[in-house]
Amino acid sequence: MSPSKTPAEVLDVDGTEVRISSPDKIVFPEPGLTKLDLVRYYLAVADGALRGAGGRPMVLKRFPKGIDAEPFFQKRVPENHPGFIETATLHYASGTSAEEAVIRNAAGLAWVVNLGCLDLNPHPVRAEDLEHPDELRVDLDPMPGVDWSQIVDVAYVAREVLDDVGLVGWPKTSGSRGLHILVRIAPQWSYRDVRLAAETLAREVENRAPGLATARWWKEERGESVFVDFNQNAKDRTVASAYSIRAVPDARVSTPLTWDEVRSTRPEQFTVPTVLERFAAIGDPHGGIDDAVGKLDGLLALTEELGPAEKPPRGGTDGRRQSVMPLIEVARTKTKPEALAALEEWKKRHADVVPALSPADVLVDGMRGSSSLWYRVRVNLQHVPEAERPPQEELVADYDPWAGRFAGRE
């Protein structure tokens, strides 16, 4: 959302004036959606969007240069925020703290979109109790090569596990390739306990759907499976909440579903125009989520039954983890296009081994830096005969996201 010369427009949102700068700026060229279109979208679905993000501190994920450029993450609320934006101070494990934005009404939605935010990224806690999450988040993250039907199968297994421990799961598309299941819980447990419960859920889903789902933390060990990402429940993590617009060319939306819809729909069906029609016609399928509050006793009891989770192997004198897989690192880059270009360059150099690679052997990961993403490219050579495996070479690209920021970084 780069600057434009179009004059600002002031909206009256339920009696509150919100200034929208550059309202005619095209944000999504493919469907032709402007910044003002996105504001009006969020106002139209405000009831559902606030059910997911309202009253929670949120990280502002801003796209000042448009959807084709990397966003930056802003934890601290701008100093000149209006009076209708509340704040809450979060304390992180690193010892730092941040006064983050808390929105409670449609005017707040319009304000964050005006800042260049597309998706909403709230923490799983309410502003009134920052240490006890009231939401457990199940993130079904498919590895490359996994199709939607496999994600759906894993989702139903996750639902079965939740049912068995007395919890209600509410599914929604992630707005990308995966699926989220939200679980409202009483705010009685610490972040550590909630993450442990989520990890237990992931392990039990893997037990019931071996080969389809995995709880393995290390990406190179997952194969072509759906990762039940329990770490999204860690204290510093946020996920795109319900009705969030994602930065993909078709303006896809993270959309709440009924369980009956999970198997019969696909993520690409849900875009800004189609969700506007859907919301006007049926409202929010998650309208009852706040009335379905459960307890973690069942999952934590299952933790005892399963025993301690397997710890990843470590090795080396520097204390760093040593993978059990034959991994090589290809590149570190500032942007995803640069990462993909570096990968193609590596493939040209080693064209003889490329046919042996499966989709899940190529790992292109977005890594969280201090305020933005950077990208790491690795290749798992597990399917390449040992004698034919290329060695670790000088990186095709070697971007340092911490250059000039932190002295003494490893």
DSSP 223: -
Q: Which domain holds residue 366?
A: 327-398
pLDDT at 179: 97
- pLDDT score of 47: 98
Contact present, 299 and 200 (Cβ < 8 Å): yes
- Predicted confidence at residue 317, as pLDDT, reads 42
Candidates 330, 338, 245; CA nearest to 31 is: 245
Distant-in-sequence, close-in-space partners of 112: CB < 8 Å, separation ≥ 6: 58, 60, 101, 103, 120
Positions in the chain whose pLDDT score sits under 50: 1-4, 315-319, 406-410
Strands 397-398 and 327-333: parallel
**Which two structure tokens, joined as six digits, stand for 107?**
């005017």
Handedness of CA 245, 249, 250, 255 (dihedral sign): negative
Q: Can you give the pTM of this predicted structure?
A: 0.85
- What is the C-alpha separation between 244 and 52, in angstroms, rounded? 9
Query: Total domain count for the chain?
Result: 1
126 in a domain, yes or no?
no
Task: Look at residue 284 and tell me if it is in a domain.
Answer: no
**What is the pLDDT at residue 4?**
47
Q: Note whether residue 369 is domain-resident.
A: yes
Q: Which pLDDT score is estimated for 406?
A: 45
Please give the Cα distance from 254 to 272 (Å, whole number): 10
Q: Are 370 and 345 in contact (CB under 8 A)?
A: no
* Number of CB atoms found within 10 A of residue 307's CB: 8
With H, G, I as helix, E, B as strand and everything else as coil, classify residue 140: strand
Answer whether residue 29 is part of any domain. no
Q: Is residue 337 part of a domain?
A: yes
Q: How many Å apart are CA 126 and CA 132, to the nearest integer? A: 8
Structure tokens at 250: 């078709």
Question: What is the pLDDT, as a whole number, of residue 94?
Answer: 77
Domain membership of residue 164 (yes or no) is: no
CB 330 within 8 A of CB 227: no
- 363 with 379: CB under 8 angstroms? yes
Q: Is 344 helix (H, G, I), strand (E, B) or coil?
A: helix
Residue 262 lies in a domain: no
- Which tokens belong to 53? 């993000």
Residues 6+ apart with CB under 8 A from 126: 55, 56, 134, 187
Residue 319 lies in a domain: no
- Computed on alpha carbons and rounded to an integer, the radius of gyration of the chain in Å comes to 22
